[in-house]
């Protein structure tokens, strides 16, 4: 995203227009501030974050599996 | 789950593919599953490339005993439209078509190149991803839609 695109998207998420899908998502319970934080990252940074989360999950799954056996 | 190594293997193997599932996190979503969903071209040449790219990671059917006989080759791919596999790098689903979007040509037309995982990765665009989730209709897919729709609306020109 260009800085302008990011600012426009962030503003829409901070102040959803009445009747918008963003407003509906907010009412549904989506934390829009977390989406803004995600959009602040580049796709590559989001991908790296996903990789890190996957590794942590794999580690905990391994611990849980060893405890069961 | 090693998303990067799986995607790099497909990309470096010049496989015609697109990432189509819960890797929407790359679009900005927070929803992600720890598996890779991929749609691929069913051309004979591409089936061969896909087999070669994944073979080093020992793909096998997911949810079955590891010693179940399984042949990873082009015929196996040709005879299945959906293959749910485990590999040494994590789980991967290979899809000949995507609900709500279509077969490879439609998926390809609705994928965009994203710089991620140290490659140019074709990823299903947000609007098509939303259609696929709506068509899949599982509770976890439907639950992701409000967030994806707000991202789409936020990013619209």
**Residue B156, min C-alpha distance to chain A (Å):** 8
Q: What percent of chain B has pLDDT over 90?
A: 77
- pTM of full prediction above 0.80: yes
Distances (CA, A) of B61 to B18, B71, B93: 21, 10, 10
Q: Confidence class of residue B31 from pLDDT cuts 50, 70 and 90?
A: low
**Contact (CB<8Å) B153/A22:** yes
Q: Does B1 touch chain A (CB under 8 A)?
A: yes
Which residues neighbour B155 within 8 Å (Cβ) at sequence distance 6 or greater? A1, A5, A9, A39, B28, B126
* Exposed/middle/buried for residue A3 (C-beta within 10 Å: 0-12, 13-18, 19+): exposed
Closest CA to B118 of B23, B9, B1: B9
Between CA B57 and CA B65 the distance in angstroms is 17
- Beta bridge pairs of residue B115: B120
ipTM above 0.90, yes or no: no
pLDDT at A5 over 90: yes
Q: Does B75 touch chain A (CB under 8 A)?
A: no
């Amino acid at each position: 995203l260009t800085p302008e695109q990011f600012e426009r998207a962030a503003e829409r998420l901070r102040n959803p227009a009445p009747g918008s899908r963003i407003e509906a998502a907010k009412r549904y319970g989506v934390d829009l501030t977390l989406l803004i934080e995600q959009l602040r990252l580049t796709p590559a940074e989001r991908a790296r974050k996903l990789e890190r989360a996957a590794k942590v999950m794999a580690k905990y799954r391994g611990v849980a599996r060893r405890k069961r056996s | 789950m090693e998303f990067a190594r799986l995607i790099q293997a497909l990309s470096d193997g010049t496989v015609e593919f697109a990432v189509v599932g819960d890797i929407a996190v790359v679009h900005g979503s927070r929803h992600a599953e720890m598996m890779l969903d991929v749609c691929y071209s069913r051309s004979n040449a591409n089936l061969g490339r896909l087999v070669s790219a994944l073979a080093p990671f020992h793909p096998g059917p997911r949810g079955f005993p590891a010693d179940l006989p399984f042949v990873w080759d082009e015929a196996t791919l040709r005879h299945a439209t959906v293959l749910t596999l485990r590999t040494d790098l994590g789980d991967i689903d290979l899809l000949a078509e995507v609900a709500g979007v279509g077969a490879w040509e439609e998926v390809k037309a609705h994928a965009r190149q994203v710089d991620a995982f140290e490659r140019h990765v074709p990823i299903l665009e947000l609007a098509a991803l939303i259609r696929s989730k709506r068509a899949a209709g599982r509770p976890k897919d439907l639950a992701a839609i409000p967030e994806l729709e707000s991202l789409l609306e936020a990013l619209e020109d």
